[in-house]
Structure 1
Amino acid sequence: MVQALEAFFDEPAEEAVRELWRRLDSAGIPSLASRGKGRPHVTFAVAGGIPARSRAELASELRLLSLPTIWLYTLGTFPTTETQLVLTAVVDAELLAVHSAIHEVLANRAKNPSAYYMPGAWVPHCTLSREIDTASLASAMSTLHPIRPIKARVREIGITDTATGEVDSLLVR
């Protein structure tokens, strides 16, 4: 079982991402929505497991942090074998501080943490489509270009079971 610590957006930002998903689906490119992959979000950490005690510590830490607005701004992809279309976030000091604080709590507690989400390697993003071929990627970028920046306020942070989609909310604002 893989668990992900995810930040979910306010309604206007969520609707803006869902509109991008609808545009992709209308162009015949499967978005996350068409694959039944839940709500728009940015992932802060992924691990094989995040124990209950760590969840309580994370919830306490999150209540103390000032969560920044996340600006989703750049349309892109990652150089991996699983082609994804993503909307990356503008990385600023506040966002990095929250990410670092989260990983301080998870250090030596999370089971099998993913290196892609560790400080120094993390690229904050909201996934628009996954597992698409190169031709579909080019079409998707053409369909969505130009992108308008999305101002996303964090309204909830929770741990998502990636197999079931069930979210254990740690913070709701």
Structure 2
Amino acid sequence: MPFAVHMELDPYAAAELQPIVEHMERISPDVVTPRRLKAEPHISLAVYDGLDPEPLTNALDRFSADMHAPSVKLSAIGLFPGPASVLFAAPVVSEELLILHRNFHVAAASAGAACWPHYLPENWVPHVTLGEQLSPEEAGAAISGATGLWQPVAARLHRISLVRFHPVELLWHRQLPG
């Protein structure tokens, strides 16, 4: 089972994205959404195919010990195209967000786990997944409907978590002060 380290949006920001998530769920019963996974909307910092969670939780403890909840502005929607497309909300890629991501990977290196290449610094496209496993036809309907529902969202990344998925199982988390 894969593992992910992600930072969850605050509940108010997550609620602002719900109309788009509901739209995704109306498109098809096969579309995967955060709600269907019983996961909070989030930005993933890393995904791993397999690892020993203990060294990574130790690294996460050290990394997040003095961390405060960073702010992000979700400014656009986007699509990772393909036979199983992903609709996402895109944050403004700030220097603060890139530094946080890079510093996480420096801290996590001590855990000895191999991260998926597209989550590594210089490859990472920060995003909040709103719907995935979209066929090409569903992707068109998703982007069309989401465009009409979209509004920029100011958010705080209020919690950092380590999860195992599917199904999503919370292994470690830290609430971050505002």
Report 1:24-173 matches (<5 A).
24-28=24-28, 30-33=31-34, 35-47=36-48, 48-49=50-51, 51-107=53-109, 109-146=111-148, 147-173=150-176
Helix, strand or coil for the counterpart of 1:65? coil
What is the CA-CA distance between 1:33 and the residue it aligns to? 4.5
Paired letter, 2:74: L
2:69, 2:159 within 8 Å by CA — same for their partners in 1? Answer: no
Q: Select between 163-172 and 134-143 the one with higher mean Cα deviation.
A: 163-172
Deviation string for 1:107-135 (max 9, x for gaps)? Answer: 25242310010000000101111111112
- Identity in percent: 24
TM-score (norm 1): 0.89
* Amino acid of the structure 2 residue aligned with 1:6: H
Q: CA deviation at 1:34?
A: 6.1
Number of aligned residues: 173
Separation in 2, partners of 1:49, 1:104 = 17
Runs of 4+ in 1 over 6 A off after TM superposition: none
1:137 is paired with a residue of what secondary structure? Answer: helix
Unpaired segments ≥5 residues, structure 1: none
Whether the 8 Å CA contact 1:87–1:127 is kept in 2: the answer is: yes
**What do you get for the CA RMSD once the two structures are aligned?**
2.0
